[in-house]
Structure 1
Amino acid sequence: MSRLVHGLAVLALALSPVTAAGPAHGVSADPVVLPLADAVAALPLGAESRDGYTRDAFRHWNAGADPTDGCSTRGEVLIAEAVTAPTVGARCSLTGGTWYSYYDDLTVTAASGLDIDHLVPLAEAWDSGASAWNPDRREAYANDLAQATSLVAVTAGSNRSKADQDPAQWLPPAPHAACRYASEWTVTKLRWNLTADQKELDRLAKLAAGCTDILVAYTPAP
């Protein structure tokens, strides 16, 4: 299952019976499945602090799922999320292929035009609990391929517009993207047991109220 299809499955409408997509890359675990509003309510409230933050605290774009294939985490995400598969050359060079950036509803035809966004930015994760983690756990967070919604290929412009803002400050500009984004933000925080501040919770709750009949699924990080 591609990461794009997997991400959409995580946001499946509440049909009967519910089918929840499992983690990416063949990792077998039973996901937690909740209505979006209940998932938002399950987020722990916490004050945020950026004291001591540095991006270097999160080693990212490591060797990825397969250290022998020449692809970093970035390359793994690009390959997995491609709508039309690129040709993978030496040292994971990618030619051809197409991608869909759901933040701004654009199709991209060159991998160089894409950023890999941490759905919950590294600085936000630090603010929300990752400052207390050891380096190995921060590296695992920054390269999380086990749940497809943690990392997403989007246009460089939309990623840089977002920067390190939370949903109270920034939402994707594309029409109809808000429900998916709120869902993926919420499950990423739940997966990694990260807190949310009051403004963030208020915005997520308001979004969830307008995103009726949506189920979300996540697998708690090891």
Structure 2
Amino acid sequence: MTPRWGGVVPSVAAAVLCTVVLSACDPRAGAAGAEGSAAPKATGAEGSAVAALDALPVKGRAPKTGYDRTRVFGPAWSDNTTAPGGHNGCDTRNDVLRRDLANVAGKNASRCVVASGVLEHDPYTGKRIDFTRGQTTSMAVQIDHIVALSDAWQKGAQQLTQDQREALANDGLNLIAADGPANQQKSDADAATWLPANKSFRCPYVARQIAVKKKYKLWVTSAERDAMRRVLNTCPTQPLPDEQSAGVAFAR
């Protein structure tokens, strides 16, 4: 005999309950928090990374045709750019090392060249890294483009002027000192295919990517937008950084 609840077949009772409390029977209710699934959309306050993400154009990747790092983004670590901190007499790589490392020591009394220092809390792995300049040691700490240049090329940078592209490649907002192997693992990935292993840095990382894409009028793919959204749903009030608030400017 089929079990009954108060004289009503359970499936019928459930249907009645659904009519009264629709949300309780919405099949999406349990899926929202599942790993990798679409999460509830947070409302972005003005000045937040969420609001800026909502305003970014969403398009597919453009072909990588014509991409050549030096030709389209200029020589690596040029000081001669319109980026904040440009023309300060130091190349951009050393600017980032001086900004992001602690206990910095210069080379041969140079105010620019960083001979050693400590990355006290690597943003990508969370570990401490001692940096010593040398042929076999310098790559322990690398300078990462938070928005990879080849990714930028496929998402709007082809429409920028040469000066704007060189500024993007040397802008402190888009640069960070990080663990060398983690940077190599990231390569030219966007947020849809790579996020820092250090989960505490994922919100600031995604916010910096959004800030760069907003500043240089780049777009995101739908998969990239969704990945960013999943991260920001854990920190809906994450602010959109700028050179001042994020402390990413270079000393002059």
TM-score, normalised on structure 1? 0.75
Alignment match, 2:197: 173
Distance change >3 Å, CA 125–CA 96, structure 1 → 2: same
Return the alpha-carbon distance in structure 2 between the equivalents of residues 179 and 67 of structure 1.
31
1:88 is displaced (CA, Å) by 4.5
Deviation at 1:92, TM superposition (A): 3.6
CA distance in 1, matches of 2:155, 2:52: 17
| Cα distance between partner residues in 1 of 2:159 and 2:237 | 35
Q: Are 1:119 and 2:174 matched, yes or no?
A: no
Q: Which of these two proteins has the greater Rg computed from alpha carbons?
A: 2
Report SS of the residue matched to 2:198: coil
- Corresponding residue for residue 68 of structure 2: 54
Deviation (angstroms), 1:140: 1.1
CA contact (8 A) 2:103 2:118 kept: yes
For these two proteins, the number of residue pairs brought into alignment is: 184
Match among 130, 134, 138 for residue 109 of structure 1: 130
Quote the residue 1:94 is aligned against: 114
C-alpha distance 83-196 of structure 1, shift in aligned 2 (>3 A): same
1:130 paired residue number: 157
Q: Take 1:91 and 1:214, find their aligned partners in 2: how far apart are those partners?
A: 35
Deviations 1:128-154 (A, max 9, x none): 111122222211111113xxx311000
Residues 49-103 of structure 1: CA deviation (Å, up to 9, x unaligned): 122212121113112646574x311001111112223235348432332113211
Equivalent in the alignment of 1:8 = none
SS in 2 for 1:176: helix
State how far apart, in whole Å, the 2-side matches of 1:204 and 1:67 are: 34
**Aligned equivalent of 1:14:** none
The TM-score, its normalising length taken from structure 2, stands at 0.67
* Residue of structure 2 in register with 1:82 after alignment: 101
Alignment of 1:1-40 (within 5 A): 34-40=47-53
Aligned-pair distance for 1:34?
A: 1.5
1:152-163 residue pairs with structure 2 within 5 A? 152-163=176-187
Instruction: Structure 1: give runs of 5+ residues left out of the alignment.
Output: 1-32
Taking the aligned partners of 2:232 and 2:86, their CA distance within structure 1 comes to 37
- Contact map agreement 1:85 1:96 (CA 8 A) in 2: yes
Deviation (angstroms), 1:173: 0.7
Instruction: State the 1:188 CA deviation.
Output: 1.1
Unaligned runs of at least 5 residues, structure 2: 1-45, 133-137, 244-252
**CA-to-aligned-CA distance 1:146-179 (integer Å, 9 cap, x gap):** xxx3110001111110000000000001131211
User: Is 2:220 the counterpart of 1:202?
Assistant: no
In 1, distance between residues paired with 2:164 and 2:87?
Answer: 18
| Mean Cα deviation higher: 83-92 or 152-161 | 83-92
Q: 1:167-208, CA deviations, whole angstroms, 9 ceiling, x for partnerless residues?
A: 000000113121111111111111111101110011111111
- State the one-letter code of the partner of 2:164: R
The CA distance in 2 between the partners of 1:68 and 1:138, in whole Å, is: 19
Q: Deviations over 1:89-136 (max 9, x none)?
A: 348432332113211112221151211111100001101111122222
| Structure 1 Cα separation of the partners of residues 181 and 96 of structure 2 | 18
RMSD over aligned CA atoms reads 2.2
Check conservation: 1:191, 1:218, Cα contact below 8 A. Answer: no
